[in-house]
């Protein structure tokens, strides 16, 4: 339920992927975002994958670096 996230006072961002075989994206559809809670919906990444082919690495590191700068 969304009430769990309503009282957050620190920024929380959740990365989800359409191709996650473990947690379907639809599980997040009922959640509402606010200034402290955001869902980043990605096309690919699987379940904890988020792999960049070239150069090799995990692209979420770059996204997190952009967020905290």
Quick check: 33 and 59 in contact, CB under 8 A? Answer: no
Q: How crowded is residue 50: how many other Cβ atoms within 10 Å of its Cβ?
A: 17
Q: Is the peptide bond before 55 cis (omega within 30 degrees of 0)?
A: yes
Question: Residue 1: pLDDT band by 50, 70, 90 thresholds?
Answer: low
Share of the chain above pLDDT 70, in %: 88
Which is nearest to 25 in space by CA: 40, 37, 3? Answer: 40
pLDDT attached to residue 25: 87
The average confidence (pLDDT) of the chain is: 81
């Amino acid at each position: 339920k969304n009430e769990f996230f309503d009282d957050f006072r620190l920024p929380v961002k959740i990365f989800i992927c359409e191709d996650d075989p473990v947690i379907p994206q639809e599980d997040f559809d009922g959640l509402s975002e606010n200034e402290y809670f955001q869902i980043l919906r990605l096309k690919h990444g699987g379940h904890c994958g988020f792999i960049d082919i070239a150069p090799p690495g995990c692209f979420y590191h770059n996204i997190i670096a952009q967020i905290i700068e």
